[in-house]
Amino acid sequence: MKPKILVARALFPEVLERLQHTFEVESNQLDESWTAAQLIAKLQGKWGIYTMAGERIDAALLAACPQLKICANMAVGYNNFDLSAMSTAGVLGTNTPDVLTETTADFGFALLMATARRISESERFLRSGQWKKWRYDMFAGADIHGSTLAILGMGRIGQGIARRAALGFGMKVVYHNRSRLDAATEAQCQARYVGKEELLQSADHLVLVLPYSAASHHAIGGAELALMKPTATLVNIARGGIVDDVALAAALAAGKLAAAGLDVFEGEPEVHPDLLALRNVVLTPHIASASVPTRRAMADLAADNLIAFWTQGRALNALNAPA
């Protein structure tokens, strides 16, 4: 008999079909939003769940779903998983690293350039019919080439951004991370390790690419923003909650920071009204990994994790060692 799995959100039909070869699949192609209680009800009798980083897997859910053995996230970030509760409950977590690295680094760069060069703001101006004449300082922004790029969080995506910056745009790259990279990787990225304070002070542009955890909650708040240059740009493609959105909006409104490009938000899909009211922000709906081939590769890899765990007893991207 095929084991039962739940696919929590809408998914590529071809990937659903692949899953159906191995599993009895209950899916959510209507993309309904489920409460925690509805999710628990749907998980009764399920061996696995295919998640998209929005579904919270915690001790309460695990206690209510004793048959669950694997949660496969279609995302590299897995802050929706309480991994220690999952290990205790004997439940495996998996994610989708590597396949999204270059696409997400491309987007980090796109958001940086749109923000520093005021592309969204100037397009809004043009579309609203305000462009009557050219002016010497019209939408003059900050340079990318030759400037200092500061990267907080230097995993695979941070390194991809560093390579683009150094090799493509002649930027000086500094980074801060929990652990320093080895010398060969630093040389390849042409990146110099600095302390967090120096990182913030030296940044012409700051890009955030660190994972979200209790330790990184509000890693950028009022005190950190106060260390930055008033001409600097901040880009967050990591997770909402890493930046204190209220403090960021206040700094932007007060001219203590020039501009911000944000793909992730505290409490998304809600966006704080103070951010929505600002002209000097570029706001995108969590799309950093959203190229068609990459989203398909992520979807396939999450499916592969479920299939490999069932057929071979080993997932490709295990995050924990369940008890």
Listed in sequence order, the residues at least 6 apart from 113 whose beta carbon sits closer than 8 Å to its beta carbon are 119, 144
Nearer of residues 3 and 77 to ligand 8YV, judged by Cβ: 77
Residues marked as catalytic:
239, 268, 286
Phi and psi at 287, nearest 5°, equal -120, 15
Paired tokens of 178: 């929990």
Nearer of residues 164 and 229 to ligand 8YV, judged by Cβ: 164
Nearer of residues 256 and 286 to ligand 8YV, judged by Cβ: 286
Q: With helix as H, strand as E and coil as C, how does 165-209 read?
A: HHHHHCCEEEEECCCCCCHHHHHHHCEEECCHHHHHHHCCEEEEC
- Shortest reach from residue 44's CB to ligand 8YV, in Å: 24
Rounded Cα distance, 98 and 76, in Å: 8
Nearer of residues 210 and 252 to ligand 8YV, judged by Cβ: 210
- Shortest reach from residue 322's CB to ligand 8YV, in Å: 22
Q: Where are the beta strands (DSSP E) in the chain?
A: 4-7, 24-26, 48-51, 70-73, 92-94, 148-152, 172-176, 191-193, 205-208, 233-236, 259-262, 281-283
Residue 133 backbone class (left: φ over 0; alpha: ψ -120 to 50; beta: rest): beta
- Shortest reach from residue 143's CB to ligand 8YV, in Å: 29
- Shortest reach from residue 77's CB to ligand 8YV, in Å: 3
Nearer of residues 33 and 128 to ligand 8YV, judged by Cβ: 33
CB distance 197 to 220 below 8 Å: no
Paired tokens of 104: 């997400």
Neighbour tally for 132: CB within 10 Å: 6
- Shortest reach from residue 192's CB to ligand 8YV, in Å: 27
Nearer of residues 259 and 302 to ligand 8YV, judged by Cβ: 302
Which residues sit at the interface with ligand 8YV, rule CB under 6 A?
52-53, 74-77, 100, 289
CB distance 73 to 302 below 8 Å: yes
CB distance 96 to 301 below 8 Å: yes
- Shortest reach from residue 57's CB to ligand 8YV, in Å: 14
CB distance 258 to 280 below 8 Å: yes
